[in-house]
Structure 1
Amino acid sequence: MFVPHAFRFENRAEQIAFMKRYSFATLVTAVDGLPLATQLPFAIAEREGVLVLSAHFAAGNEHAAHIAAHTSLVMFTEPHAYISPTHYDKRESVPTWDYIAVHAYGKAKILDGPEAKMQAMEQLILCYEPAYLATWQTLPDRYKQGMLQGIVAFELEVTELQAKQKLSQNKSITERERIAAQLEKGNAPEAGLAPYIRATIRTT
Protein backbone atom coordinates (compact mmCIF):
# COMPACT_ATOMS: atom_id res chain seq x y z
CA MET A 1 0.00 0.00 0.00
CA PHE A 2 1.29 3.46 -0.90
CA VAL A 3 1.20 5.58 2.27
CA PRO A 4 2.55 9.15 2.10
CA HIS A 5 3.96 10.43 5.39
CA ALA A 6 0.99 12.72 6.09
CA PHE A 7 -1.45 9.80 5.86
CA ARG A 8 0.32 7.23 8.04
CA PHE A 9 -1.92 5.07 10.24
CA GLU A 10 0.32 3.07 12.56
CA ASN A 11 -1.57 2.56 15.82
CA ARG A 12 -2.23 -1.20 15.92
CA ALA A 13 -5.10 -0.98 18.41
CA GLU A 14 -6.83 1.61 16.23
CA GLN A 15 -6.20 -0.49 13.12
CA ILE A 16 -7.86 -3.51 14.73
CA ALA A 17 -10.76 -1.39 16.02
CA PHE A 18 -11.32 -0.14 12.46
CA MET A 19 -11.26 -3.70 11.09
CA LYS A 20 -13.84 -4.80 13.65
CA ARG A 21 -16.08 -1.83 12.88
CA TYR A 22 -15.91 -2.33 9.10
CA SER A 23 -15.52 -6.11 9.05
CA PHE A 24 -17.16 -6.88 5.69
CA ALA A 25 -13.96 -7.07 3.67
CA THR A 26 -12.53 -8.30 0.37
CA LEU A 27 -10.25 -11.35 0.36
CA VAL A 28 -7.84 -11.45 -2.59
CA THR A 29 -5.58 -14.37 -3.54
CA ALA A 30 -3.36 -14.46 -6.62
CA VAL A 31 -3.44 -17.82 -8.40
CA ASP A 32 -1.34 -18.39 -11.54
CA GLY A 33 -0.92 -14.65 -11.90
CA LEU A 34 -4.62 -13.87 -11.71
CA PRO A 35 -6.42 -12.48 -8.64
CA LEU A 36 -9.40 -14.22 -7.09
CA ALA A 37 -11.58 -11.97 -4.92
CA THR A 38 -14.42 -12.75 -2.53
CA GLN A 39 -16.35 -10.38 -0.25
CA LEU A 40 -16.83 -11.87 3.22
CA PRO A 41 -17.83 -10.89 6.76
CA PHE A 42 -14.95 -11.58 9.15
CA ALA A 43 -14.66 -12.24 12.85
CA ILE A 44 -11.49 -10.62 14.18
CA ALA A 45 -9.68 -11.74 17.33
CA GLU A 46 -6.25 -11.58 18.96
CA ARG A 47 -4.87 -14.81 20.37
CA GLU A 48 -1.67 -14.50 22.37
CA GLY A 49 -0.63 -11.48 20.32
CA VAL A 50 -1.55 -13.05 16.96
CA LEU A 51 -4.31 -11.40 14.95
CA VAL A 52 -6.68 -14.01 13.49
CA LEU A 53 -9.37 -13.43 10.88
CA SER A 54 -12.14 -16.02 10.61
CA ALA A 55 -14.74 -16.45 7.87
CA HIS A 56 -16.23 -19.00 5.51
CA PHE A 57 -16.85 -19.52 1.82
CA ALA A 58 -19.81 -21.13 0.15
CA ALA A 59 -18.69 -24.70 -0.57
CA GLY A 60 -18.87 -24.12 -4.33
CA ASN A 61 -16.51 -21.14 -4.32
CA GLU A 62 -13.26 -22.11 -6.11
CA HIS A 63 -11.40 -19.51 -4.06
CA ALA A 64 -11.46 -21.86 -1.07
CA ALA A 65 -9.15 -24.34 -2.83
CA HIS A 66 -6.27 -21.86 -3.01
CA ILE A 67 -6.07 -19.97 0.28
CA ALA A 68 -3.97 -22.54 2.14
CA ALA A 69 -1.21 -22.54 -0.49
CA HIS A 70 -0.97 -18.80 -1.15
CA THR A 71 -0.63 -15.60 0.82
CA SER A 72 -3.89 -13.69 0.73
CA LEU A 73 -4.73 -10.03 1.17
CA VAL A 74 -7.82 -8.96 3.12
CA MET A 75 -8.84 -5.35 2.44
CA PHE A 76 -10.90 -3.49 5.02
CA THR A 77 -12.14 -0.16 3.73
CA GLU A 78 -14.99 2.23 4.48
CA PRO A 79 -15.99 4.99 5.00
CA HIS A 80 -14.90 7.21 2.11
CA ALA A 81 -15.95 10.44 0.43
CA TYR A 82 -15.31 12.76 -2.51
CA ILE A 83 -13.68 15.98 -1.33
CA SER A 84 -14.48 19.09 -3.35
CA PRO A 85 -11.78 21.76 -3.84
CA THR A 86 -14.40 24.36 -2.88
CA HIS A 87 -13.50 23.61 0.76
CA TYR A 88 -9.91 24.79 0.28
CA ASP A 89 -8.54 28.28 0.82
CA LYS A 90 -6.32 28.08 -2.23
CA ARG A 91 -8.15 28.49 -5.54
CA GLU A 92 -5.57 26.42 -7.41
CA SER A 93 -6.75 23.12 -5.93
CA VAL A 94 -8.16 19.91 -7.32
CA PRO A 95 -10.73 17.35 -6.14
CA THR A 96 -9.61 14.29 -4.19
CA TRP A 97 -11.00 11.37 -2.21
CA ASP A 98 -10.62 10.79 1.53
CA TYR A 99 -10.78 7.28 2.97
CA ILE A 100 -9.40 4.80 5.47
CA ALA A 101 -8.08 1.36 4.56
CA VAL A 102 -6.37 -1.49 6.38
CA HIS A 103 -4.70 -4.32 4.46
CA ALA A 104 -4.05 -7.61 6.26
CA TYR A 105 -1.75 -10.26 4.77
CA GLY A 106 -1.38 -13.92 5.70
CA LYS A 107 -1.92 -17.55 4.80
CA ALA A 108 -5.18 -19.21 5.74
CA LYS A 109 -5.88 -22.69 7.00
CA ILE A 110 -9.06 -24.63 6.33
CA LEU A 111 -11.02 -25.65 9.43
CA ASP A 112 -11.92 -29.29 8.92
CA GLY A 113 -14.51 -31.25 10.83
CA PRO A 114 -17.97 -30.33 12.09
CA GLU A 115 -16.78 -29.18 15.52
CA ALA A 116 -14.27 -26.66 14.12
CA LYS A 117 -16.79 -25.42 11.56
CA MET A 118 -19.47 -25.09 14.22
CA GLN A 119 -17.14 -23.06 16.39
CA ALA A 120 -16.31 -20.77 13.47
CA MET A 121 -20.00 -20.29 12.68
CA GLU A 122 -20.85 -19.48 16.28
CA GLN A 123 -17.95 -17.04 16.47
CA LEU A 124 -19.48 -15.11 13.56
CA ILE A 125 -22.89 -15.16 15.23
CA LEU A 126 -21.37 -13.78 18.43
CA CYS A 127 -19.67 -11.08 16.38
CA TYR A 128 -22.71 -9.92 14.41
CA GLU A 129 -25.84 -10.92 16.37
CA PRO A 130 -25.12 -12.40 19.81
CA ALA A 131 -28.83 -12.56 20.66
CA TYR A 132 -29.37 -15.02 17.79
CA LEU A 133 -27.00 -17.59 19.28
CA ALA A 134 -29.69 -18.91 21.63
CA THR A 135 -32.00 -19.51 18.66
CA TRP A 136 -29.22 -21.14 16.63
CA GLN A 137 -28.48 -23.56 19.46
CA THR A 138 -32.10 -24.72 19.55
CA LEU A 139 -32.22 -25.58 15.85
CA PRO A 140 -32.22 -29.31 15.00
CA ASP A 141 -28.74 -30.81 14.68
CA ARG A 142 -29.63 -32.28 11.30
CA TYR A 143 -30.42 -28.79 9.99
CA LYS A 144 -27.26 -27.24 11.43
CA GLN A 145 -25.03 -30.00 10.12
CA GLY A 146 -26.62 -29.61 6.71
CA MET A 147 -25.82 -25.90 6.78
CA LEU A 148 -22.22 -26.61 7.81
CA GLN A 149 -21.79 -29.00 4.88
CA GLY A 150 -22.46 -26.07 2.58
CA ILE A 151 -19.53 -23.96 3.77
CA VAL A 152 -15.73 -24.01 3.89
CA ALA A 153 -14.57 -22.33 7.11
CA PHE A 154 -11.08 -20.94 7.54
CA GLU A 155 -8.81 -18.87 9.73
CA LEU A 156 -6.11 -16.50 8.51
CA GLU A 157 -3.23 -15.54 10.82
CA VAL A 158 -2.15 -12.02 9.94
CA THR A 159 1.58 -11.71 9.27
CA GLU A 160 1.55 -8.07 8.15
CA LEU A 161 -0.76 -5.08 8.53
CA GLN A 162 -0.61 -2.01 6.32
CA ALA A 163 -2.91 0.93 6.90
CA LYS A 164 -3.68 4.40 5.63
CA GLN A 165 -5.85 7.29 6.78
CA LYS A 166 -6.23 9.86 4.02
CA LEU A 167 -8.23 12.46 5.93
CA SER A 168 -7.06 15.80 4.51
CA GLN A 169 -4.29 15.97 7.13
CA ASN A 170 -2.28 18.01 4.62
CA LYS A 171 -4.91 20.78 4.83
CA SER A 172 -5.40 23.43 7.48
CA ILE A 173 -7.64 22.98 10.51
CA THR A 174 -10.12 25.48 9.07
CA GLU A 175 -10.30 23.57 5.79
CA ARG A 176 -10.78 20.27 7.59
CA GLU A 177 -13.56 21.80 9.69
CA ARG A 178 -15.37 22.82 6.51
CA ILE A 179 -14.88 19.37 5.00
CA ALA A 180 -16.18 17.59 8.11
CA ALA A 181 -19.21 19.88 8.36
CA GLN A 182 -20.13 19.16 4.74
CA LEU A 183 -19.65 15.41 5.08
CA GLU A 184 -21.92 15.31 8.12
CA LYS A 185 -24.76 16.35 5.81
CA GLY A 186 -24.04 13.56 3.33
CA ASN A 187 -24.87 9.88 2.94
CA ALA A 188 -23.76 7.17 5.36
CA PRO A 189 -20.20 6.63 4.06
CA GLU A 190 -19.59 10.37 3.92
CA ALA A 191 -21.06 11.08 7.35
CA GLY A 192 -19.11 8.15 8.78
CA LEU A 193 -15.86 9.75 7.66
CA ALA A 194 -16.49 13.08 9.39
CA PRO A 195 -15.61 11.92 12.96
CA TYR A 196 -12.28 10.59 11.75
CA ILE A 197 -11.45 13.92 10.13
CA ARG A 198 -12.45 15.76 13.31
CA ALA A 199 -10.14 13.44 15.26
CA THR A 200 -7.20 14.65 13.16
CA ILE A 201 -8.07 18.21 14.16
CA ARG A 202 -7.99 17.34 17.86
CA THR A 203 -4.55 15.75 17.53
CA THR A 204 -2.99 18.50 15.38
Structure 2
Amino acid sequence: MYQPPQFRSTDPHHARTLIQAHPLACLVSTDDAGFPVVSHLPLHLQEDGGVQVLLGHCARANPHWRYLAARPEALATFMGPSAYLSPSVYPDLARVPSWNYLAVHCRVEARIIDEANGKDALLKALIAQHEPAYAAQWRALDEDYTSKMLRAIVAFELRVLDLQCTLKLNQHRPESHAALHAAYRAGGADAQALAQWMETLGMVPGHKD
Protein backbone atom coordinates (compact mmCIF):
# COMPACT_ATOMS: atom_id res chain seq x y z
CA MET A 1 0.00 0.00 0.00
CA TYR A 2 1.29 3.46 -0.86
CA GLN A 3 1.91 5.20 2.47
CA PRO A 4 3.02 8.81 2.66
CA PRO A 5 4.85 9.07 6.00
CA GLN A 6 2.41 11.61 7.45
CA PHE A 7 -0.41 9.06 7.17
CA ARG A 8 1.46 5.95 8.35
CA SER A 9 0.51 4.59 11.79
CA THR A 10 2.84 2.25 13.66
CA ASP A 11 0.61 2.10 16.74
CA PRO A 12 -0.70 -1.51 16.89
CA HIS A 13 -3.80 -0.30 18.74
CA HIS A 14 -4.91 1.68 15.69
CA ALA A 15 -4.74 -1.34 13.36
CA ARG A 16 -6.37 -3.63 15.92
CA THR A 17 -9.22 -1.16 16.47
CA LEU A 18 -9.89 -0.86 12.74
CA ILE A 19 -9.82 -4.62 12.12
CA GLN A 20 -12.19 -5.31 14.99
CA ALA A 21 -14.59 -2.52 14.03
CA HIS A 22 -14.54 -3.33 10.29
CA PRO A 23 -13.95 -7.11 10.07
CA LEU A 24 -15.20 -7.63 6.51
CA ALA A 25 -11.93 -8.08 4.64
CA CYS A 26 -10.85 -8.41 1.03
CA LEU A 27 -8.73 -11.56 0.92
CA VAL A 28 -6.50 -11.39 -2.15
CA SER A 29 -4.34 -14.12 -3.67
CA THR A 30 -3.85 -15.66 -7.12
CA ASP A 31 -5.57 -18.45 -8.97
CA ASP A 32 -3.80 -21.27 -10.79
CA ALA A 33 -3.22 -19.02 -13.81
CA GLY A 34 -1.61 -16.32 -11.68
CA PHE A 35 -4.58 -13.93 -11.92
CA PRO A 36 -5.66 -12.07 -8.75
CA VAL A 37 -8.69 -13.54 -6.96
CA VAL A 38 -10.61 -11.74 -4.22
CA SER A 39 -13.04 -13.04 -1.60
CA HIS A 40 -14.97 -10.75 0.73
CA LEU A 41 -14.94 -12.46 4.13
CA PRO A 42 -15.28 -11.51 7.80
CA LEU A 43 -12.01 -12.22 9.61
CA HIS A 44 -11.50 -12.48 13.35
CA LEU A 45 -8.26 -11.17 14.85
CA GLN A 46 -6.55 -13.16 17.59
CA GLU A 47 -3.25 -12.33 19.26
CA ASP A 48 -1.16 -14.85 21.15
CA GLY A 49 2.31 -14.09 22.45
CA GLY A 50 2.81 -11.24 20.01
CA VAL A 51 1.67 -13.31 17.02
CA GLN A 52 -1.38 -12.01 15.17
CA VAL A 53 -3.68 -14.47 13.42
CA LEU A 54 -6.79 -13.80 11.35
CA LEU A 55 -9.43 -16.54 11.44
CA GLY A 56 -11.90 -17.02 8.60
CA HIS A 57 -13.70 -19.47 6.37
CA CYS A 58 -15.29 -19.73 2.95
CA ALA A 59 -17.76 -22.01 1.24
CA ARG A 60 -16.24 -25.28 0.09
CA ALA A 61 -17.59 -24.43 -3.38
CA ASN A 62 -15.39 -21.31 -3.38
CA PRO A 63 -12.09 -22.32 -5.03
CA HIS A 64 -10.21 -19.67 -3.09
CA TRP A 65 -9.33 -22.08 -0.28
CA ARG A 66 -7.62 -24.36 -2.82
CA TYR A 67 -5.56 -21.42 -4.05
CA LEU A 68 -4.56 -20.66 -0.46
CA ALA A 69 -3.55 -24.27 0.06
CA ALA A 70 -1.38 -24.18 -3.06
CA ARG A 71 0.05 -20.69 -2.49
CA PRO A 72 -0.32 -19.80 1.21
CA GLU A 73 0.95 -16.22 1.07
CA ALA A 74 -1.87 -13.76 0.54
CA LEU A 75 -3.09 -10.24 1.34
CA ALA A 76 -5.98 -9.30 3.63
CA THR A 77 -7.19 -5.69 3.47
CA PHE A 78 -9.59 -3.91 5.82
CA MET A 79 -11.29 -0.63 4.93
CA GLY A 80 -12.44 1.65 7.72
CA PRO A 81 -14.55 4.79 7.39
CA SER A 82 -13.88 7.19 4.52
CA ALA A 83 -15.26 10.53 3.41
CA TYR A 84 -14.81 13.35 0.90
CA LEU A 85 -12.40 16.15 1.80
CA SER A 86 -13.67 19.47 0.47
CA PRO A 87 -11.17 22.24 -0.35
CA SER A 88 -13.53 24.59 1.51
CA VAL A 89 -11.88 23.55 4.80
CA TYR A 90 -8.73 25.53 3.86
CA PRO A 91 -8.34 29.25 4.54
CA ASP A 92 -6.92 29.79 1.03
CA LEU A 93 -8.42 28.93 -2.36
CA ALA A 94 -5.41 27.26 -4.00
CA ARG A 95 -6.51 23.78 -2.93
CA VAL A 96 -8.14 20.76 -4.55
CA PRO A 97 -10.61 18.08 -3.33
CA SER A 98 -9.34 14.82 -1.87
CA TRP A 99 -10.60 11.81 0.07
CA ASN A 100 -9.79 10.73 3.61
CA TYR A 101 -9.78 7.08 4.66
CA LEU A 102 -8.51 4.54 7.17
CA ALA A 103 -7.14 1.20 5.97
CA VAL A 104 -5.13 -1.80 7.13
CA HIS A 105 -3.24 -4.24 4.88
CA CYS A 106 -1.95 -7.55 6.23
CA ARG A 107 0.46 -9.82 4.38
CA VAL A 108 -0.48 -13.26 5.64
CA GLU A 109 0.41 -16.94 5.45
CA ALA A 110 -2.54 -19.32 5.32
CA ARG A 111 -3.03 -22.63 7.08
CA ILE A 112 -6.08 -24.60 5.97
CA ILE A 113 -8.37 -26.05 8.66
CA ASP A 114 -10.68 -28.77 7.38
CA GLU A 115 -11.39 -30.98 10.37
CA ALA A 116 -14.68 -30.57 12.22
CA ASN A 117 -13.41 -29.65 15.69
CA GLY A 118 -11.09 -26.98 14.34
CA LYS A 119 -13.80 -25.45 12.20
CA ASP A 120 -16.28 -25.54 15.09
CA ALA A 121 -13.81 -23.72 17.36
CA LEU A 122 -13.16 -21.12 14.66
CA LEU A 123 -16.88 -20.51 14.12
CA LYS A 124 -17.38 -20.07 17.86
CA ALA A 125 -14.67 -17.38 17.85
CA LEU A 126 -16.56 -15.54 15.09
CA ILE A 127 -19.86 -15.96 16.94
CA ALA A 128 -18.30 -14.60 20.14
CA GLN A 129 -17.26 -11.46 18.28
CA HIS A 130 -20.47 -10.76 16.38
CA GLU A 131 -23.38 -12.40 18.27
CA PRO A 132 -22.41 -14.12 21.53
CA ALA A 133 -26.04 -15.00 22.27
CA TYR A 134 -26.13 -17.22 19.16
CA ALA A 135 -23.55 -19.60 20.67
CA ALA A 136 -26.22 -21.42 22.69
CA GLN A 137 -28.40 -21.83 19.59
CA TRP A 138 -25.46 -23.22 17.59
CA ARG A 139 -24.69 -25.76 20.33
CA ALA A 140 -28.35 -26.79 20.49
CA LEU A 141 -28.74 -27.48 16.78
CA ASP A 142 -29.14 -31.06 15.61
CA GLU A 143 -25.75 -32.75 15.20
CA ASP A 144 -26.58 -33.94 11.68
CA TYR A 145 -27.37 -30.36 10.69
CA THR A 146 -24.21 -28.86 12.21
CA SER A 147 -22.07 -31.60 10.66
CA LYS A 148 -23.59 -30.81 7.27
CA MET A 149 -22.90 -27.09 7.75
CA LEU A 150 -19.30 -27.75 8.79
CA ARG A 151 -18.70 -29.97 5.76
CA ALA A 152 -19.93 -27.13 3.53
CA ILE A 153 -17.12 -24.79 4.59
CA VAL A 154 -13.33 -24.74 4.72
CA ALA A 155 -11.65 -22.65 7.42
CA PHE A 156 -8.21 -21.11 7.62
CA GLU A 157 -5.81 -19.33 9.92
CA LEU A 158 -3.97 -16.41 8.37
CA ARG A 159 -0.77 -15.65 10.28
CA VAL A 160 0.12 -11.98 9.89
CA LEU A 161 3.63 -11.61 8.46
CA ASP A 162 3.55 -7.85 7.96
CA LEU A 163 1.01 -5.12 8.66
CA GLN A 164 0.52 -1.64 7.26
CA CYS A 165 -1.94 0.87 8.71
CA THR A 166 -2.84 4.11 6.95
CA LEU A 167 -4.81 6.88 8.66
CA LYS A 168 -5.30 9.58 6.01
CA LEU A 169 -6.86 12.51 7.85
CA ASN A 170 -5.02 15.56 6.47
CA GLN A 171 -2.56 15.48 9.35
CA HIS A 172 -0.03 17.54 7.37
CA ARG A 173 -2.45 20.48 6.95
CA PRO A 174 -3.17 21.71 10.49
CA GLU A 175 -4.77 24.90 9.16
CA SER A 176 -7.65 22.71 7.91
CA HIS A 177 -8.25 20.65 11.04
CA ALA A 178 -10.87 22.74 12.84
CA ALA A 179 -13.04 23.24 9.75
CA LEU A 180 -12.56 19.62 8.61
CA HIS A 181 -13.53 18.31 12.04
CA ALA A 182 -16.65 20.50 12.12
CA ALA A 183 -17.67 19.36 8.63
CA TYR A 184 -17.19 15.71 9.52
CA ARG A 185 -19.07 16.09 12.81
CA ALA A 186 -22.05 17.39 10.80
CA GLY A 187 -21.82 14.64 8.17
CA GLY A 188 -22.92 11.04 7.86
CA ALA A 189 -21.82 8.04 9.86
CA ASP A 190 -18.47 7.61 8.09
CA ALA A 191 -17.65 11.30 8.37
CA GLN A 192 -18.54 11.31 12.06
CA ALA A 193 -16.31 8.29 12.59
CA LEU A 194 -13.42 10.18 10.97
CA ALA A 195 -14.12 13.16 13.25
CA GLN A 196 -13.79 10.81 16.23
CA TRP A 197 -10.47 9.54 14.87
CA MET A 198 -9.24 13.13 14.50
CA GLU A 199 -10.00 13.59 18.19
CA THR A 200 -8.27 10.31 19.06
CA LEU A 201 -5.15 11.44 17.22
CA GLY A 202 -5.13 14.82 19.00
CA MET A 203 -5.74 16.79 15.81
CA VAL A 204 -8.48 18.99 17.26
CA PRO A 205 -7.59 21.43 20.08
CA GLY A 206 -9.90 21.10 23.03
CA HIS A 207 -11.02 17.56 22.07
CA LYS A 208 -9.55 14.52 23.78
CA ASP A 209 -10.51 10.90 23.18
User: Structure 1-normalised TM-score?
Assistant: 0.94
Aligned length: 203
**Structure 2 match to 1:185:** 186
Corresponding letter in the other structure for 1:82: Y
Counterpart for residue 61 of structure 1: 62
Residue number in structure 2 paired with 1:46: 47
Alignment partner, residue 195 of structure 2: 194
Shift of residue 181, structure 1, vs aligned partner: 1.5
Shift of 1:97: 0.5
Q: Partner amino acid for 2:61?
A: G
Partners of 1:144 and 1:51 lie apart in 2 by 29
Show the 5 A alignment for 1:85-164: 85-164=87-166
Report the Cα offset of residue 136 of structure 1. Answer: 1.2
SS at match of 1:201: coil
SS at match of 1:160: strand
Task: Please give the alpha-carbon distance, in whole angstroms, between the structure 2 residues aligned to 1:118 and 1:30.
Answer: 27
Amino acid across the alignment from 2:68: I
For residue 201 of structure 1, report the CA deviation from its aligned partner.
3.4
Shift of 1:114: 0.7
| Residues in 1 aligned to 2:8 and 2:193: alpha-carbon distance in whole angstroms | 19
Distance in 1 (alpha carbons) for counterparts of 2:156 and 2:137: 24
Q: Distance between the aligned counterparts of 1:59 and 1:11, measured in 2?
A: 36
Greater Cα offset, 11-20 or 139-148: 11-20
Q: Secondary structure at the match of 2:170?
A: coil
- Residue equivalent to 1:12: 12
Determine if contact 1:10/1:163 at 8 Å carries over to the other structure: yes
SS for the counterpart of 1:182 is helix
Q: Which runs of 5+ in 1 are unaligned?
A: none
Which letter maps to 1:179? L
Letter in 2 for 1:127: Q
- Residue identity opposite 1:153 in structure 2: A
Instruction: Give 1:56 shift.
Output: 0.5
Distance across 2 between alignment mates of 1:15 and 1:167: 15
Offset at residue 189 of structure 1 (A): 1.7
Moved more, 190-199 or 145-154: 190-199
Distance 2:34 2:191 in 1: 35
Q: Percent identity?
A: 34
Please list every run of 5 or more consecutive structure 2 residues that lacks an aligned counterpart in the other structure.
Answer: none
C-alpha contact (below 8 Å) 1:20/1:43 kept by paired residues: yes
User: Is the contact between residue 177 and residue 198 of structure 1 (CA under 8 Å) also seen in structure 2?
Assistant: no
3-state SS in 1 of match to 2:57: strand
Alignment-derived partner of residue 79 in structure 1:
81
**Paired AA for residue 114 in structure 2:** D
Deviation, structure 1 residue 10:
0.5
The Cα RMSD (Å) is: 1.5
Question: Post-superposition shift, 1:122?
Answer: 0.8
Distance 1:178 1:193 in 2: 13
One-letter code of the match for 1:12?
A: P
SS for the counterpart of 2:91 is coil
| Cα shift readout 1:33-70 (whole Å, capped 9, x = no counterpart) | 31100111111100221100001101111111111323
